[in-house]
Amino acid sequence: MKRKQKHVPVVKGETYQIEITDLTHDGEGIGRVDDFAVFVPEALPGDVVLGKVISTKKTYARALIEKTFKNSDQRIAPVCPKAESCGGCQLAYMGYEHQLAWKQRKVQDVLKRIGKLDAEVLPIIGMERPEGYRNKSQFPVGLVDNRLVIGFYQKRSHNIVDTDYCRLQHPLINKAARVVKQALIDLKIEPYNEKDHLGVVRHAVIRTSFSRHTLMLIFVTRTKELPHRDKLIEVLTAELPELTSIYQNINSQVTNVIFGTESRLLWGEPYLFDQIGDLEFAISPRSFFQVNPIQTKVLYDLAKEAAGLTGRETVWDLYCGIGTIGLYLASDAAKVIGVETVPEAVEDARYNAVLNGIDNAEFYTGKAEELAPKLLDKGLKPDVVVVDPPRRGCDPGLLETIQSVQVPKVVYVSCNPSTLARDLGMLKEAGYRVESVQPVDMFPDTRHVECGTLMSRV
Ligand SMILES: C[S@@+](CC[C@H](N)C(=O)[O-])C[C@H]1O[C@@H](n2cnc3c(N)ncnc32)[C@H](O)[C@@H]1O
């Protein structure tokens, strides 16, 4: 039988008056035209706008604001002068207290809708000063109107918005971005041309240590050669006394992935060092380290409390990066075992254990879902499992392993509430109960939210 086609009451290119009533999980405004959902980026609940439809699908359309008839009372004037064009901050227009309330609702909503969970979500922990919190920025470098630009991608495109200042970045990163841009211009080092896959410098990745006020700089280049390399190092080290490492990473592929596999230390120390709580961490250029160190301490303290360790437990730290969470818990555990796919991160984790005088932690390279059964075969059954997966969440095979050995406690740290809800739903089916879900705002002005969750076996 032929399905009745749903009537689409809006036409691409036409404008409509739309009252915004909510936000999607991606932070776009939602309004209705003849009961048909229209998503409007940058619109907030309470806005009444004239929206021009740019695309239509069977069940929804997307429109851009042409004119605003009435402003939402959640709306603020963005502090950043590039907010209109830059695609980095989806919520730059929303008052911070409203951002927090929305993130809280978003977590509650997905837990119910996707995970079928009625768990209590604790009040989100926001930042006292929600700016200057990022310790890492990946600036694309390119040519616009024959001028070298460094900045962020424009909304919905790969055009670079020339902006060497971002209020979310630590001030040292902004300072370094300005110096890097000027040095590349002065030395006439060619930026990458994405269209023709020509040119040299694709990205300038800048990392900073909040505790030491130092900088690591990584030039991602298409070519093995970095022209005027020595002069570049001379200029940068003279202008940026905070620099402790300069790397070149070679990425000759036609790809959106930033890093290639080969990194060369051009100058300085191999690691950037930063601190969380009392622990010191060595970070190599491609290793994951949480971008907001202030809220990371909050998150790790929650994980520690949730784990409720007595000193007798074996803890698995899966998706461990450079071993941060496992090492943070190690003094309260009998043994910590970390698993991570990126070999450099595992090397960092082992070094970090030594750096902090921790001798009860071991780290393994591999996929958590593949190594977990092997750890069991070795007799290393966990009492507590901590998982902190990427946005796609945990592999179902890993959740099956956790269920099969009836691990008493699972601490789930998540940067994506939807996959968190899916995975918690699976664990609930297998006999776990959600004890607490604690959202933490690691990424003010953006649509992202982090959560720490404790599940116990019933
Ligand atoms: C969100 S980060 C968490 C890192 C660390 N727990 C922290 O707090 O800094 C996720 C980590 O999982 C790693 N990863 C991705 N897929 C994995 C897999 N299948 N098994 C193990 N680790 C994986 C990534 O390389 C990344 O370092």
- 313 and 450 in one domain? yes
- 256 and 142 in one domain? yes
Q: What tokens does 51 get?
A: 């929206």
For the stretch 373-379, contacts whose Cβ atoms lie closer than 8 Å and that sit 24 or more positions apart, written own/partner, are 373/401, 375/316, 375/337, 375/339, 376/401, 376/405
Q: How far is the CA of 72 from the centre of ligand 1 (A)?
A: 39
Sign of the torsion formed by the C-alpha atoms of 356, 361, 365 and 368: negative
Q: What is the pLDDT of residue 83?
A: 84
- 144 and 121 in one domain? no
User: Quick check: is 301 in a domain?
Assistant: yes
Task: Give the mutation target among 304, 341, 411, 412 for probing the ligand 1 site: most ligand atoms within 8 A of CB.
Answer: 341
User: Which residue's alpha carbon is at the smallest distance from atom 7 of ligand 1?
Assistant: 321
Sign of the torsion formed by the C-alpha atoms of 167, 169, 173 and 177: negative
How far apart CA 330 and CA 313 sit, in angstroms, is: 10
Domain of 326 in residue numbering reads as 101-128+292-457
User: Quick check: is 89 in a domain?
Assistant: no
- Largest Cα span, the chain: 74
Report residues whose beta carbon is within 6 angstroms of any ligand 1 atom.
288-290, 319-321, 324-325, 339-342, 345, 367-369, 388-390, 395, 415
Q: What tokens does 14 get?
A: 């036409």
- 197 and 112 in one domain? no
- 390 and 428 in one domain? yes
- 444 and 369 in one domain? yes
Q: How far is the CA of 361 from the centre of ligand 1 (A)?
A: 17
- 141 and 107 in one domain? no
Q: How far is the CA of 304 from the centre of ligand 1 (A)?
A: 18
Domain final residue, candidates 227, 246, 276: 276
CATH assignment at residue 195: 2.40.50.1070
User: Quick check: is 337 in a domain?
Assistant: yes
User: Quick check: is 6 in a domain?
Assistant: no
Q: What is the pLDDT of residue 3?
A: 56
- The residue whose two tokens read 């120390």 is 269
User: Quick check: is 91 in a domain?
Assistant: no
Task: Give the Å distances, CA to CA, from 206 to 173, 230, 286.
Answer: 6, 19, 11
User: Quick check: is 404 in a domain?
Assistant: yes
Q: Which residues pair with 195 in a beta bridge?
A: none
How far apart CA 417 and CA 188 sit, in angstroms, is: 45
- 105 and 31 in one domain? no
Q: What is the pLDDT of residue 25?
A: 87
- 316 and 408 in one domain? yes
Q: What tokens does 204 get?
A: 């300038």
Cut 0.85: pTM above it? yes
User: Quick check: is 311 in a domain?
Assistant: yes
Q: Which residues pair with 363 in a beta bridge?
A: 338
Q: What is the pLDDT of residue 405?
A: 92
Q: What tokens does 69 get?
A: 């008839």
Model confidence pLDDT, tens digit, residues 51-98: 999 999 999 999 999 999 999 999 999 888 888 888 788 899 999 999
Q: How far is the CA of 343 from the centre of ligand 1 (A)?
A: 11
Q: What is the pLDDT of residue 158?
A: 85
How far apart CA 42 and CA 75 sit, in angstroms, is: 10
Catalytic positions are 415
Domain final residue, candidates 276, 309, 336: 276
- 309 and 266 in one domain? no
User: Which residue's alpha carbon is at the smallest distance from atom 14 of ligand 1?
Assistant: 319
Q: How far is the CA of 322 from the centre of ligand 1 (A)?
A: 9
Domain final residue, candidates 70, 90, 117: 70
User: Quick check: is 88 in a domain?
Assistant: no
E strand residue ranges, 34-154: 36-40, 48-56, 60-70, 136-144, 147-153
For residue 456, what is the DSSP state? E
Domain count, the chain: 3
Q: What is the pLDDT of residue 26?
A: 87
- 265 and 141 in one domain? yes
User: Which residue's alpha carbon is at the smallest distance from atom 20 of ligand 1?
Assistant: 367
- 326 and 252 in one domain? no
Question: What parts of the chain have a pLDDT lower than 70?
Answer: 1-6
Q: What tokens does 228 get?
A: 């005027």
Task: Give the mutation target among 288, 301, 346 for probing the ligand 1 site: most ligand atoms within 8 A of CB.
Answer: 288
How far apart CA 427 and CA 425 sit, in angstroms, is: 6
How far apart CA 401 and CA 117 sit, in angstroms, is: 22
* H-state helical runs in 240-385: 293-307, 324-330, 343-355, 368-377
